[in-house]
Amino acid sequence: MFNKSLTTNIVSLAIIAVSYLSPKYNEIIYLTGLFALSGGITNWLAIHMLFEKIPFFYGSGVIPSRFEEFKLGIKHLVMTEFFTPQNINVFFGATN
């Protein structure tokens, strides 16, 4: 399976490596790669913490622990926002 997170982190590391070879703008290229890598690692950690319970980290594992609440909230949102009488009339082409 294609791992997008790993791919973006490898590209970020490659940009950092290119900065050492670049005779011009090496600091800008280095910082671009460094910020991209730090953002990629931060996003990976945030997504991991949503689904996995990590001891002593408040808020980790929130998706599995509150799955039923999320499911009911999404159902309520879909039923109240998408299935309004106006949207149903537009979908079926009814005119008033």
Q: Give 22's DSSP letter.
A: -
Q: What are the domain boundaries of the chain? A: 4-92
Return d(Cα 16, Cα 74) in angstroms, integer. Answer: 41
Q: What are the CA-CA distances from residue 19 to residues 5, 14, 36, 50, 95 (Å)?
A: 21, 9, 13, 34, 62
- Kindly calculate the radius of gyration of the chain based on its CA atoms and give it in whole angstroms: 23
pLDDT at 38: 97
What is the DSSP track for 34-73?
A: HHHHHHHHHHHHHHHHHHS--TT-TTTTHHHHTHHHHHHH
Global pTM value: 0.66
* pLDDT 10s digits, 62-90: 999 999 999 999 999 998 888 888 888 88
- Name the band, by pLDDT with cuts 50, 70 and 90, for residue 17: very high
